[in-house]
Structure 1
Amino acid sequence: MNTTKPGDELAVELSQISVKYQQLELFSRLDFALPQQQITAVIGESGCGKSTLLKLINGLVAPTSGSIRLFGQAQTQPFNNTTRRGIGYAVQQIGLFPHLNAFENIALLAKLDNWQQTEIEQRVSYLADCMGLTITLLERYPHQLSGGQAQRVGLCRSLMVKPAVLLLDEAFSAVDPITRKEVHDRFLQLHQEEPRAVLLVTHDMREAVKIADKIAVMQEGKIVQHGAVSTVTAQPANDYVARLIKDHI
């Protein structure tokens, strides 16, 4: 169910995507569109296919059939390095390298891309300031960071090379509710300054409503409703969507 209007500029288009793993069919003829410069939240119960959707867009899972287009360009498997560099990816587990301090973790991809040191320092400083990370904190190693601090470092790392598409897989769920609110607020402020296509996978409807412009509800490998937050919450397409809204808002 695709609600993108004619004329909207799309960052990602999945067309008639099927994915099979051994004898298990994860997706069957799935269509999905991710608009540029908007935040789309994908919500659904565990096992419905949310993380697989992100992995498809990130080139980590190859479709059995169907096509993937990024900014109008058809993609083949595996994605080339240029395409992969244009996609930021942050996950719940954060995955910071323990032998690198916060600054080095954030700067890693830029160093691999041979950025000049002054460019790296300026970009890290900008992102750290946006996310409320001090210079002293940037000198710490992952084991010296709180959960909220590590979460923000991970977000900065995913944004370091200015990706056109940002994929967030439960990226805010590992921190306590108070810290999560602060991270949400800082992330939204940064998105206003650097708008991009964002796909947020979450099981929290309240988080989706707060952060996203659009919501896609998944159930058993199908997108059962996809539209503006106000439309989905006011006019749920079926009982499943209505229950998610009732139980979590």
Structure 2
Amino acid sequence: MQKSIDLNTSNSNPARHFSFPTQKLLPFIIPVTLVVVWQLASSVGWLSTSVLPSPIAVLQDGITLTASGELPKNLSISLYRATLGLLIGGGIGFILGFVNGMSKTFSLLFDSSIQMFRNIPHLALIPLIIIWLGINESAKISLVAIGTMFPVYINTYSGIRSVDNDLIEMGKSYELSRFDMFKKIIFPAALPQILVGVRYALGVMWTTLIVAETISASSGIGYMANNAEDFVDMETVVLCIVVYAILGKISDLVAKSFESLLLEWQTTGRNNI
């Protein structure tokens, strides 16, 4: 009987069957396979270069644009717009989620209106934003801020409101102040869901920026893609798509790193299951 229990325990976590290097390589298997198949299909003529250029052609175009300085310049501009928009929108979303989550009065007063505005597609506001702010940087950053505000808000609000009442009662029994209650109990308990909102906002950030940079823009990765489309430069169009995909993946990895750092106790618990 003891032998059977040990056997079942060892099989409870499938990840343990893989060595550490193998676990690191697993996420790259599908992307690498797709790129190899893509290159082979292009090499044997199954894919026309006018439809989809080969990975090697896209890589060569990226090297050329990097050497000329065009890609780094537009990439830095896109990163600036995305980062600033996320900081503004995410900051506003967190403050609103915190205030409404902590106060029932503020929640009754503001949450219904915020939810109403949340259901308006933020990309539908582009004509209005252009009329108000023109086609300069503030319009693009504002659009990103609006898009990222609501995911952070809804997850912050929900995270705070869903904190276990037993934890709140425990804090009251220790006579914690409102600040200490938030610092030691409410915020740590709500943090996992807040980080989910940030991670989702990162995806919305890049999606919004792509659209913002293809409308009345003169710089950025989206502008490069739109300009290349006008000249039927398929290599640059695909390159811009790949750059956005890489930026999205890097953003997700950064978010996961923060989750591992800030939620180390949760990660340790899962690893021990």
Q: Same fold (TM over 0.5)?
A: no
Q: Which has the higher helix share?
A: 2
Higher RCO (C-alpha under 8 Å, 6+ residues apart): 1
Calculate the TM-score normalised by the size of structure 2.
Answer: 0.25
